[in-house]
Amino acid sequence: MTSCLVAGTALFGAAGVSAADSPSPSASTDSGTDPNADSSASPGTDGPTEAGTSFRTATAVKPGQRATASASTGDYLYWVVPLDQGQRATVKAKVSLPKAARHGAATWQLDVYDGLRRRQACQYGAQTRTAARDADSVELSCTLRTVRGWAEPWANDPLPGSYYVRLTVVDLPQEDLGLPVHAEVRTDTADAGGAQAVDGSLAAPLVPGAGVTTPQGDATPTEGATPTDGATPQDGASASPDRVTAAAPDGGWSSGWWSDRWIWTAVGGLLAALAGIGGYSLTRGSGRPARVPQRD
C-alpha cells in the first residue's frame, strides 16, 4: 500500500511539472533601422521594418518577432499578431524620440484590439506614458487577459484570432507634430495552462478577411462597415506578404478539445482509487470472526 501511495504522489508531481479610429493621413514607413536604437534591447527574431496606417493595412508579425518602423510623430502605427486560446500575451513597445529640440512633453499610448476590433483591457502594464521634453525614449507595455476558447456573445473576453496593436501619440505640443521617431514593438506569449481552459471552442478564429495592401493614406472603414469587410485592390496595387491578416500560429490554431486538465483529471482519479483501496484495507479487519467467550 505504501508503494502505491508513493507511486501516485510521484505521478501527481510529474503532471504538475508538465502541466476603428481614424489613421494619420500619411504615415512614413521607411525601411531600415534607427541608428540610435539599441539593437541589443530586444532579443529574438527580427520582423518587419514597417507598420501599417490602419486596421486594413496593419503589418503582420509573429509572436516573438521584433517589428520596427520609422515614422513621424502623430502617425498611427498598426501591427497584427495571431493569438491562440490559452495564451497570455504581453505587448511591449519602445519609441526612440528625436534628438531635435522639442517644445514639451509627449504622451504615447499602446492599444490592442481583437479580430472584431474591440479594444482589449490590459491586466497590467504601462499602457500610457508621458515622455519628458528631454527624454530619449519612452517604453510601454500591455499584458492582456488569457485568450479563451469560447465566450458568451455579449462578453468582451479575448478570443482566438488576429490582434491589432496600435501605437500613437495622444498628447503633445502642436509644434512637435511631424518630428521623426523610431518605434519597436514585440509580442511575447505564455501558456496559461488548463486552469484557464473552458469547455467549448469557436467554429473558426476571429480573423478578418483583410489581406490587400491599400495606398498610403487610405482611411479605416467608414462607420457601419463590418469587421470582415476587405479592402478592394486599386489599379496597380498588389498584395504584400507583410500586409496581410495575421497568419495562424506555428502549429495551427488549437482544436480546443485538449488541455492539461485531462492530465490532472486522470491523476485525481488514480489518487482517489488508491485512497479507496487503502481505506478498505485498513477497515476490513483481519478477516477472522471474533472469538466468543464460552459459558461455564
**pLDDT-based confidence at 100, cuts 50/70/90?**
confident
Domain ranges in the chain are 1-19+260-277, 23-259
Could you read off the pLDDT of 239-291 as tens digits, one per residue? 344 444 567 777 777 755 566 667 778 888 999 999 999 888 888 766 566 56
CB 85 within 8 A of CB 148: yes
Among the residue ranges 147-156, 159-168, 255-264, the one predicted with the least confidence is 255-264
Could you read off the pLDDT of 9-68 as tens digits, one per residue? 443 343 333 333 433 333 444 433 343 434 333 445 788 899 999 999 999 999 999 999
CB 89 within 8 A of CB 186: no
The pLDDT assigned to 209 comes to: 60
Among the residue ranges 125-134, 174-183, 204-213, the one predicted with the least confidence is 204-213
Can you tell me which residue has the cell 469557436?
202
Could you please report the per-residue DSSP string of 116-171?
T-PBPPEEES--EEEE-TT-SEEEEEEEEPPPPS---TT-----SEEEEEEEEEEE
CB 82 within 8 A of CB 62: yes
Judged against a pLDDT cut of 70, whether residue 147 lies above it is answered with yes
pTM for this entry: 0.66
The pLDDT assigned to 148 comes to: 87
Cell of 260: 492539461
The pLDDT assigned to 283 comes to: 85
The pLDDT assigned to 60 comes to: 93
**Cα 272 → chain centroid:** 37
CB 220 within 8 A of CB 54: yes
- Cα end-to-end span (Å), the chain: 44
Can you tell me which residue has the cell 483501496?
277
Could you read off the pLDDT of 179-236 as tens digits, one per residue? 999 999 999 999 876 666 676 777 788 888 643 333 333 333 333 333 333 333 333 3
CB 68 within 8 A of CB 49: yes
Residue of higher predicted confidence among 156 and 201: 156
The pLDDT assigned to 37 comes to: 38
